[in-house]
Structure 1
Amino acid sequence: ILATLVVPGVVETLVRSSAVRIFVCNAMTEPGETDGYGVAEHLRALATHGLTVDALDYVVVNASPIPRKVRARYETEGAQPVSADFAVAAGPPTVVRAELLEPGPVVRHAPDKLGRILRDLAGARGGWATDGRAAEEWVRS
């Protein structure tokens, strides 16, 4: 995403846009690139490139536990789960914590789970429960 933000005019267009702006945070750090990053540091990196946190409507963060065996394999490669260390007193953005990962030996966002969340968030501004329930369990507040 950072490479996209350095293209002239992209940040300005995003900030001016009336579209719903959603940042989906990585579930794992990238060795040598985002070592030690939590959600807050990812957002600081966006801000360094001009996309400040107040320009976002939602920040989507994984809440799925990563199985010990899978986590251990990633740790040997220098990767760690991204810490959900970001909170907002009053939005925007709204932080949405949800179980996003698909089962298996690789840490990946499950397209069906993430897709439902993105569809729901893009379709309505605010009013969603953000306590980590799966998208199909969300209720309007």
Structure 2
Amino acid sequence: MAVHRGIAVTGLAREGDEELVRSLGARRFTDGAVADRSFDAVLDAAVLGERALASVRDGGRYVGVIPQAQPASVRGVRTDAVEVGADGAQLADLVRLVDEGVLTTRVAETFALDDAAKAHARLEEGGVRGRLVLVP
């Protein structure tokens, strides 16, 4: 989404994921060696918390993915978290962007709805690369 909006993105991931991260539009890649306070904003999808906050410049922006779990604001950095809410118009826009190939989904495995317990067990095992999808 950020790349689609014209934002220069640096992706943080395992060394083996550089090709994937760049294929999703990241101009730069890092496997963790980031200088402190080098980014205007950070979306902390890896739930790094304080470590990710340390890479935001003074007065920048930190956004986590777990509501009410973001670190406290420091150095004038605004902290917030992604909140999911029902919004049919936004969902329709996302579907359109997926259909147009602008956004890419990464599905690790699919499970029948009746196998939801198996999907949860797989998630607990760890190492899932992508999303688990329940199919009715």
TM-score by length of 1: 0.28
Which one has the bigger helix percentage? 1
Which one has the bigger strand percentage? 2
